[in-house]
Amino acid sequence: MKHWHHHTQEEAIAALQSNVEQGLNTAEATQRLTQYGPNELVEKGVKSIWAMLWDQLSDVMVIILIVAAVISALVGEVSDTVVILIIVVINAALGLTQEYRAEQAMAALKKMAVPSVHVRRNGQAQEIPARNLVPGDIVLLEAGNVVPADGRIVEEANLRVEEAALTGESEPVEKHTDPIAGEDVPLGDQKNMVFMGTTVTYGRGAILTTTTGMNTQLGHIANLLQDVRNEPTPLQRRLAELGKTLAWVALGIVALVFVLGAATNEAIQELWANSAGIMDYLESEEIHELFLTAISMAVAAVPEGLPAVVTVALALGAQRLLKRNSLIRKLPAVETLGSVTVICSDKTGTLTENRMTVTLLDVVDKRESVEQLLTGTYELAEAEQRWKQSQSNEASPCSCGRPSIATMAK
């Protein structure tokens, strides 16, 4: 059944073969969990460690370094080959370590964030993991709960839900159980439905779970986000352009050195004058020496340390962001974040946590910030205030027993 908002409670309950008072039984819930799968958002394209390593080695600059190392080995420059390969390994290891640790941290956070929900099963209210929720479950909601799946409201008492994650509106929406006319109704107007990822801000209610996991509205959004093609960052584009430029420069150096050397070498000119064959040129020692010279100059034009320097700089930036509670999954994202100049937003409730926070406590004539109360620095501030007050009293002139104005008035 589609357009759950368009149908009455009875029609929705009958379509899912459920019962508001009893809920599903254990056997039926188990069968539906096998049929529909767990209630969780599936992340597509999770990379293996080998895929991460391939991404590190497929960069244009890294490919140029590998080619330079191979050529250096062929011409007998063992020291250059070892140095270049060490740089390639260090660069790949830094990038791979950062991405792998970030993936592991994200996985750990997901495991820690597995919520539990209250449902009616076998005629009793019980608590189960949200991932075990199935269509047809009766979920009990109250203020503060995050809605675990899409559902049709079957019971409500002053129920209000904040749907900023889906609609962008920070104001809570008042819900009801009546059917809504029309099929293509926007999500913000489906006031008899609740959706996965939204938050109950007031009241309580019960919902009939209609869709779970990737079939929810939040799951559709996750699908769209995962289908977006990854665009290279500004730094990656600039490094790729630099790599291509260096490749053409190296080829130009090889061609220029080889042509100029061939034009000025007497032995090669003699071969040309005698109309020598290709094998004669290939066997010529002068040709070998000239070719090795041109290759060596081309390899020398490649900045071997550039990829490692860039990777180290980005890794240090990622570590600094981590200390400020920002987890960077891929190193190039550090530079992307640094390239942001303007952030446009028209929804304060969506951009921020959309929660009221107590920052100042003002009781009668005493005012303290919550931060001072939590850290204990309010005692120092109070002692300092008392000291200043005592100093001001000592500095004031003595009344020397003279009657005050109030006494004289009496």
| pLDDT tens digits along 119-141 | 999 989 999 988 899 999 999 99
Helix 285-300 / helix 60-74 crossing angle, nearest 10 deg? 150
Give how far Cα 266 sits from Cα of 261, 272, 273, 283, Å.
10, 10, 10, 16
Cα–Cα dist 185/182, whole Å:
6
**Could you tell me which of 308, 317, 366 has the C-alpha nearest to residue 92?**
308
Architecture of domain 5-39+133-225: Distorted Sandwich (2.70)
Q: Which helix (H) or strand (E) covers residue 217, if one does?
A: helix 217-226
Model pLDDT for residues 40-66, shown as the tens digit of each residue: 877 665 677 788 788 778 777 778 778
Model pLDDT for residues 6-48, shown as the tens digit of each residue: 888 888 899 999 998 888 999 999 999 999 989 887 766 567 7
Residue type, 236: Q
Whether pLDDT at 98 is above 80: no
Confidence tier at 310 by pLDDT (50, 70, 90): confident
Residue type, 397: P
**Mean pLDDT to the nearest integer, 207-212:** 92
**Mean pLDDT to the nearest integer, 230-251:** 78
Q: Which residues pair with 126 in a beta bridge?
A: 119
The structure tokens 């019960």 sit at: 206
Cα–Cα dist 235/228, whole Å:
20
| pLDDT for res 405 | 34
85 φ/ψ angles, rounded to the nearest 5 degrees: -65, -35
**Could you tell me which of 202, 199, 130 has the C-alpha nearest to residue 350?**
199
| pLDDT for res 159 | 92
| pLDDT for res 154 | 92
Whether pLDDT at 215 is above 70: yes
Cα–Cα dist 4/154, whole Å:
12
Model pLDDT for residues 147-202, shown as the tens digit of each residue: 999 999 999 999 999 888 788 777 888 999 998 887 788 888 889 999 988 889 99
| pLDDT for res 407 | 35
Q: Which among 184, 227, 346, 365 is annotated as catalytic?
A: 346
* Active site annotation includes 80: no
Cα–Cα dist 87/73, whole Å:
15
Write out the DSSP string of 180-215: -S-SS--GGG-TTEE-TT-EEEEEEEEEEEEE-GGG
Cα–Cα dist 361/345, whole Å:
31
Helix 78-112 / helix 49-57 crossing angle, nearest 10 deg? 140
pTM as predicted: 0.55
Whether pLDDT at 265 is above 60: yes
Quick one: DSSP state of residue 23?
-
Domain boundaries, the chain: 5-39+133-225
Write out the DSSP string of 85-114: HHHHHHHHHHHHHHHHHHHHHHHHHHHHT-
**Could you tell me which of 111, 87, 107 has the C-alpha nearest to residue 99?**
107
**Mean pLDDT to the nearest integer, 246-267:** 78
Q: Which helix (H) or strand (E) covers residue 350, if one does?
A: helix 348-351
Cα–Cα dist 148/195, whole Å:
8
